[in-house]
Amino acid sequence: MGPSGSGKSTMMHILGALDTATSGKYYLDGKDVTELSDDELSDIRKEKIGFVFQSFNLLPRTTALRNVVLPLIYLGLPHEEREKRAKEAMRSAGLPETHDLYKPNQLSGGQIQRVAIARALVNDPKLILADEPTGNLDTKTSEVVLGTFQRLNRELGRTIVLITHERDIAEHADRIIFIRDGQIIEDMRMHERRKANEHIEHV
C-alpha cells in the first residue's frame, strides 16, 4: 500500500523481473534475479511468475479457455497438455467448465478477473503479482476475487503480492507493507494485529 508515486509499481516491476533494481539483491526461489541475463529473466517470467492486472488484458475475441492457454504456447507444450493445464487452472480459479467457451463479453467482471487469475496460474508459478486486481470491480465481486486469492495462498501455497489503495482490500492479506517515497515505512503482520485486538476486546 501507498499513495500514488510512492514506488508500488516500481517494486512490482522489479519483483516481476520486468525492471532491474539499481542497487541491492533480489532472490526469487533461491536465485539472485539481479545477476540474470535478459533470456534468463524471460525464463523466470514464463516459469515462476504469474501476473494479474486491473484491466484484465484478455483477448476479447478469444474464449476464456484460449486466453488461459496462451502463456503455455510460449512454453512449447503439446496441445493436449496445454488444454489439460488450462482447464485445471480455471477450476482452481473457481470457474465452472460451462464457462470455458465463453468470450470475455459474455462474462461478468468477477468472472473475467477469475479468467485472468487462471491465466496467471497456468504456468504453475511460485509468485503471483496482482496490480489493483479489484480496482474495476464492485464490492461484492471484489470479495469473491479476494476469496479466490486467499484460497490459492492457503490451500495451494501460492505467494500473492497485491497492490491496492484500499485499506479494506489490504486487510484480507496476512501482511501489509506500507511504502512512501520509495521507502518501506511500516511492515504489519495482520495475525499479530488481530491477536492484539482480541486481547483488547477480552480486557
Complete DSSP assignment for 79-104: HHHHHHHHHHHHHHTT--GGGTT--G
Residue 84 pLDDT > 90: yes
**What pLDDT is recorded for position 63?**
95
Whether residue 3 is contained in a domain is answered as no
Residue 39 pLDDT > 80: yes
Q: If pLDDT is split at 50, 70 and 90, which confidence band does 197 have?
A: low
**What pLDDT is recorded for position 194?**
56
The total number of structural domains in the chain stands at 1
Whether residue 2 is contained in a domain is answered as no
Q: What average pLDDT score do residues 93-118 get?
A: 91
Cell triple for residue 52? 494479474
Whether residue 1 is contained in a domain is answered as no
Write out the residue range of the structural domain in which residue 165 sits: 8-202
Q: If pLDDT is split at 50, 70 and 90, which confidence band does 195 have?
A: low
**What pLDDT is recorded for position 196?**
54
Whether residue 136 is contained in a domain is answered as yes
Whether residue 137 is contained in a domain is answered as yes
Q: What is the DSSP letter of 188?
A: E
Whether residue 79 is contained in a domain is answered as yes
Residue 65 pLDDT > 60: yes
CA distances to 105, 111, 117, 174 from 165, rounded to whole Å, are 27, 22, 20, 16
Question: pTM score, two decimals?
Answer: 0.80
Domain holding 39: CATH number?
3.40.50.300
Q: If pLDDT is split at 50, 70 and 90, which confidence band does 103 have?
A: very high
Whether residue 24 is contained in a domain is answered as yes
**What pLDDT is recorded for position 75?**
78
Whether residue 162 is contained in a domain is answered as yes
Closest to 12 measured CA to CA, from 38, 45, 36, 56: 45
Residue 201 pLDDT > 70: no
**What pLDDT is recorded for position 146?**
87
Cell triple for residue 72? 503455455
